[in-house]
Amino acid sequence: MSVPPETPMAAAAAAGAAPAPGEEVDWSSVDQVSQLVSRTTMAAMHQLWQNHASGMDDLGREFAERMYDSHSQAVRDIAGVKTFDVRRVLALLNAFTESCRELVLGVMQDVRRRDDDFTQQLFQTTRSAFSRNLRAALEARDAWYREKLRGLRQRHEAQLGAVRHAAAVELQQRQMQLKIALARTLAKSARAEGGFNLGALLAARTGPDAGAKAAAAPAAAGGADGGGGDPGGETMRSSAAALAAVSAASASIPDGGGAAAEVGPEAAMLEELFQDANAADALNRELEASLAKANGEVLELRDKLDAAQLSLVELQGDAGQWRSKWAIESTKTDSIKRESMAIIAKCEEHLTQLQQQHIAEISQRDYLLQRCRDTIAALEAKLAAASPPPPAQSNSQDRVGPEPQALPTAQDSKRSLA
């Protein structure tokens, strides 16, 4: 079962680290792959920073609006006071101060919570995005190398198939060449033994079986003379084979022809064999040239395969380096997280100090307000003791007019406090 090839772009897109449209990445270059991982990781961090910045802007806008509303409400409340009443004015100031304090504390808590969330999200996003993009880049690089090795293997197999086919054709041509050489040898032996071949041809006129018997007779005679173990015996057997071939070739000649007429077709057949041999020699030379070329291509493919294996070893080394870099980056992110936690702790300590200072200032303000209240009460008591008693028919409504005449005494009390 063949696995469908996976392109590097498809592998990178499946993992979420695909390059931008119109951008080509050389997966054989470590620098371009590392730049792709950095760009994708920084893109995720940039989106997170934008979200955090927009959230902080919204929080600042909300704080400004609430502070403006509180200030406007305090101004409207103070403007709505028709008569001077210190208690009412102080109550309005206390309400405004309390609302400002609650608003500031709430905003500080929101900022702290959002900073904590942003720090955690930044750490998790950076770590996950870097690991995901690194894994996607390594998978795309592996897919590119697998595709490259698959193409080299296919070309190598195609070249091997061509070489095997050329070798098969060459083997067939060699066999044909050997047959032609054997025919030449038989022709030479037949010409050297013309009288004996003539008897065999005359015997072959009676039929193929008689010719075969006539050709087998000298072979048996040679074996009886003891020539089976020497070169002379080999020559006799070759002559017998030549007689068998010539008798088989002359079996189709009609009766009535002489011995000279029967030798002519054999010579024509041998001439045709010689011509075929010459053509086969030219074809063999071409096949030898093509075989040499195919052998050179096979050697070249072997060199390419060795180079691909070396590049695969280098890729494995690069993967090890990437893993070591990932370990180093993990330690760096851990150190960044520790530094962030230290900064957050310092901010919390500073916030605690500010809260304590604020509480101290509020306590001082409460103390001053209490002294003001006591002084105002004492002055009001003195003023009540110094003023004549009102007439009996006067009511509370008649006291609305002359009430502001006590303002100079209140101002005098404020001067005494200052």
pLDDT tens-digit profile of 97-149?
888 888 888 888 888 888 888 888 888 877 777 777 788 878 888 888 888 88
By mean pLDDT, which of 25-29, 163-167, 372-376, 405-409 is the weakest? 405-409
Burial label, 214 (beta-carbon count in 10 A; 0-12, 13-18, 19+)? buried
Residue 372 has a pLDDT of: 92
Tens digit of pLDDT for each residue in 41-67?
Answer: 787 777 788 888 888 888 888 888 888
pLDDT for 239: 45
Q: Rounded to an integer, what distance in angstroms lies between the CA atom of residue 264 and that of residue 161?
A: 45
Residue 312, pLDDT above cutoff 80: yes
Burial of 349 (0-12, 13-18, 19+ CB in 10 A): exposed
Q: How far is CA 320 from the centre of its chain?
A: 16
Average pLDDT over residues 280-297: 80
Please report the DSSP string for 293-307 in residue order: HHHHHHHHHHHHHHH
Domain boundaries, the chain: 166-311
Burial of 275: CB neighbours in 10 Å, binned 0-12, 13-18, 19+: exposed
Distance CA 27, CA 136 (A): 12
> Model pTM?
0.30
DSSP H helices, 225-258, are 231-249
Helix (H, G, I), strand (E, B) or coil at 167: helix
